[in-house]
């Protein structure tokens, strides 16, 4: 029998880069308010089931913006930002997304 002893964690990290030239001002506002917007989407689309499944505000992505890009990073991928992008009309081909398993 083999036994592996190692540090175990259920956390994972991810990041994305999204060119602003593809986004409307409304989409930018929605991205920067993604936790609140996800709650509204869930209430409208299916109030009995959380479509955008996450634990809560602690799952918020860290975001930054400059003239060309929006950058996002999280150390916990409980909030599925790629699914959120689909809900606000952003096609996944526009997003450069990296998950810690991709490195």
Domain-wise residue ranges, the chain:
14-102
pLDDT band at 14 (very low <50, low <70, confident <90, very high): confident
User: Which residues fall within 8 angstroms of residue 48, CB to CB, at 6 or more apart?
Assistant: none
Note the pLDDT tens digit of each residue in 45-73: 776 666 666 767 778 899 999 999 999 99
Whole-angstrom distance, CA of residue 36 vs CA of residue 33: 6
Check residue 53 and give its pLDDT. 67
On average, the pLDDT of the chain sits at: 80
Mean per-residue pLDDT for 9-21?
80
């Amino acid at each position: 029998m083999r036994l592996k002893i190692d540090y175990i964690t259920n956390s994972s990290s991810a990041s994305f880069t999204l060119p602003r030239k593809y986004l409307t001002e409304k989409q930018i506002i929605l991205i920067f308010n993604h936790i609140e917007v996800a709650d509204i989407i869930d209430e409208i689309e299916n109030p009995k089931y959380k479509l955008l499944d996450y634990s809560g505000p602690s799952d918020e992505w860290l975001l930054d913006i400059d003239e060309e890009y929006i950058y996002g990073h999280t150390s916990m991928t409980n909030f599925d930002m790629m699914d959120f992008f689909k809900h606000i009309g952003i096609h996944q081909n526009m997003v450069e997304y990296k998950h810690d398993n991709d490195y």
